[in-house]
Amino acid sequence: MITVATWNVLHRVHAENWYEDVSTRWPDESDRIASISDRLGKRQEQIIALQEVSGDQLASLRAAMPDRTFHTLRYPRVPKLRRGPTALDDRVEHLVLAVRDSARHIAAEAFECDHGKGVLVIAVSGFTVLATHVTGDQRRWEQLGRLRELAHDATGPVVLLGDFNIDREAVAERLGPEFTVVPLPADGLPTRPRDSASKSQFIDHVVVRGAVASDAMVDSADGLSDHNPVRATLVPIEG
């Protein structure tokens, strides 16, 4: 059995370019970074996938979580502010896996069609783990195909964790019937709260193959990010 979580923590540059409510609520980015790190440091999941991690945030996480091993993908594309100076010392964006157990690195790649999104793959605790952040436009279909290829290469149980930028049904259809996109409580919090009904509010997913998921839940980010964390417990299927 393993426990997992995924959270898009919202890169500060993206917050200022697109989500002014978060940047307004947290005018001092160092305070937001410290609060995110403190919250993650208290989480008990063995495997935590994080998207949109700035260089400043990553340094803070390493200091706050000394019991974790960090696996990272540094994207070639560096976020740029549309206007004004950045609040960050290090604007580089990372995809991150923070794990308690020893792990083996398998792959880390930005997607060919978007150098600011990608996938990070490790083997840990008997699972192949793919952390990902998928683009929110038509490029997603090529990226989901790449995720399917990487997952098919793995033996044993597999879990994909991340921000897929699309609803559960679309992810399930593209990955295929051997994968299960873990359902979340219908009366629970959305993973990506928004005012508009034109886009899904459930776009962060735990996806499994060769495992059964339970206790899937969305926790509140309390305004630290535009996304809420998702968690689940996984048990491999024997045989």
Contact 117/147 with Cβ under 8 angstroms?
Answer: no
Confidence category of residue 138, pLDDT binned at 50, 70, 90: very high
Confidence category of residue 194, pLDDT binned at 50, 70, 90: confident
Measured between alpha carbons, how far is 179 from 233 in angstroms, rounded to an integer? 16
Residue 140: what pLDDT?
Answer: 97
CB atoms within 10 A of CB 239: 4
Q: Calculate the CA dihedral of residues 157, 162, 166, 170 and round it to 10 degrees.
A: 0
Who's near 27: CB < 8 A, 6+ residues apart? Answer: none
- Domain assignment of residue 185, yes or no: yes
Indicate which CATH number applies to the domain containing 96: 3.60.10.10
- Domain assignment of residue 223, yes or no: no
- Kindly report the pTM of this predicted structure: 0.96
Confidence category of residue 71, pLDDT binned at 50, 70, 90: very high
Residue 94: what pLDDT?
Answer: 99
The predicted model gives 205-221 an average pLDDT of 98
- Domain assignment of residue 50, yes or no: yes
Measured between alpha carbons, how far is 64 from 5 in angstroms, rounded to an integer? 17
- Domain assignment of residue 236, yes or no: no
CB atoms within 10 A of CB 29: 20
- Domain assignment of residue 227, yes or no: no
Measured between alpha carbons, how far is 6 from 131 in angstroms, rounded to an integer? 8
- Domain assignment of residue 230, yes or no: no
Position 239 pLDDT exceeds 70: no
- Domain assignment of residue 229, yes or no: no
Q: How many domains does the chain have?
A: 1
- Domain assignment of residue 205, yes or no: yes
Residue ranges making up the domain that contains 86: 2-218
Confidence category of residue 104, pLDDT binned at 50, 70, 90: very high
Q: Calculate the CA dihedral of residues 145, 236, 154, 144 and round it to 10 degrees.
A: 10
